[in-house]
Amino acid sequence: MPIQWFPGHMAKARREVEEKLKLVDFVMELVDARAPLSSQNPMLQQVLQSKPKMIVLMKKDLADQRETAKWIQYFNQKGSTAVAINVNDKSDIQKVIQIAKELGEKKMEKLKQKGIQPRPARAMIVGIPNVGKSTLINRIANKKIAKIGDRPGVTKQQLWIKVKKDFELLDTPGILWPKFEEELVGYRLAALGTIKDQLLSLQDITAFVINYMQEHYPELIEDRYPIDRDMDDMWDVFVAIGKQRGCLESGGNVNFDKVADIVIRDLRTGKLGKITLESAVD
């Protein structure tokens, strides 16, 4: 069942991206390393394909390292330059700047051959809400420029940022697309906090996460909660976690909403381990 929604400011942002694209030399697209394809906006891909593209897999410190390597290979084979980073790692930030400089130098060389005076390369940074775009911009520019928040869609306008003499970066608001044709895409993004929790049942999101981990990361989930991979009745799973974590109401009944909050928070903060919610071969 498709999950449909389309805030008006996102429709406007998409139009602005199309208009501003002619001003830049390449695109820096940010995705979540824990769900790289699901966090890549399909609505923008046709628009962006006219420009060289760097794909930055954010939050690599929370993702499965083996899966991240497969995703980098996947995007490289598709013709993009892919890199995975932790925004708190200075060497990763330098890696992003170096790749951006190399992409910019190709454009500057073409201008030089045409007799045009070289200028700082210009890049557009795009990504879905809450992927870490503002934090990366601040790290790259080495000062606080972009507003940071943990709510999806904090950035509401476009902003040019100068990165030393290397290149200029055009920030854009996080943009989602009209509807998720695949329900799994909605569950992945909701689990990671990219879309508002109210759009889907938090208990359903939690059930998706538990099922996925029982299949792909059974050891990690068994280390955290008193369940095993053979426990397939989600009622029993919620009750077991709820009793362990003290999610009890008067009468001794387990509060399933509190259980869901705990599991999703554990996932988002990395307490469940390094997890990727989709494989490059999916």
- Condensed to tens digits (0 to 9), the pLDDT of residues 63-74 reads 999 999 999 999
Domain final position from 126, 146, 179: 179
Same domain, 119 and 243: no
Kindly indicate the confidence band of residue 9, based on its pLDDT and cuts at 50, 70 and 90. Answer: low
Q: How many domains does the chain have?
A: 2
The verdict on residue 278 lying in a domain is: no
Q: What domain range is 152 assigned to?
A: 3-179
Whether 221 contacts 274, CB under 8 Å = no
User: What pLDDT is stored for residue 20 in this prediction?
Assistant: 84
* Mean per-residue pLDDT over the chain, rounded: 85
Digit-coded pLDDT (tens) for 20-60 = 888 888 999 999 999 999 999 887 777 787 788 999 999 99
* Same domain, yes or no: 22 and 84: yes
Q: Does residue 193 lie within any of the structural domains? A: no
Q: Which residue has the higher pLDDT, 230 or 92?
A: 92
Confidence check: pLDDT of 282 > 70: no
pLDDT band at 158 (very low <50, low <70, confident <90, very high): low
Domain termination site, one of 179, 210, 233: 179
Asked whether residue 82 carries a pLDDT value surpassing 50, the answer given is yes
* Same-domain check for residues 49 and 133: yes
Q: Is the same domain home to 125 and 7?
A: yes
Is pLDDT above 70 for 7?
no
Q: Is residue 191 assigned to a domain?
A: no
Domain CATH for 235 = 1.10.1580.10
Confidence of residue 148 (pLDDT cuts 50, 70, 90): very low
| In a shared domain, residues 120 and 248 | no
Q: Is the pLDDT reported for residue 168 higher than 50?
A: yes
Q: Which of 171-175, 205-209, 216-220, 243-247 has the lowest mean pLDDT?
A: 171-175
Amino acid 145: pLDDT = 58
Residue 233 clears pLDDT 90, i.e. is over it:
yes
Question: In this model, does residue 8 exceed pLDDT 80?
Answer: no
pLDDT at residue 77 greater than cutoff 90? yes
Compare 99 and 2 and report the one with higher pLDDT. Answer: 99
Q: Is the pLDDT score of 155 beyond 60?
A: no
d(CA 271, CA 49): 37
Mean pLDDT in residue range 133-158: 63
- My answer on whether 153 and 262 are in the same domain is no
pLDDT at 177: 63
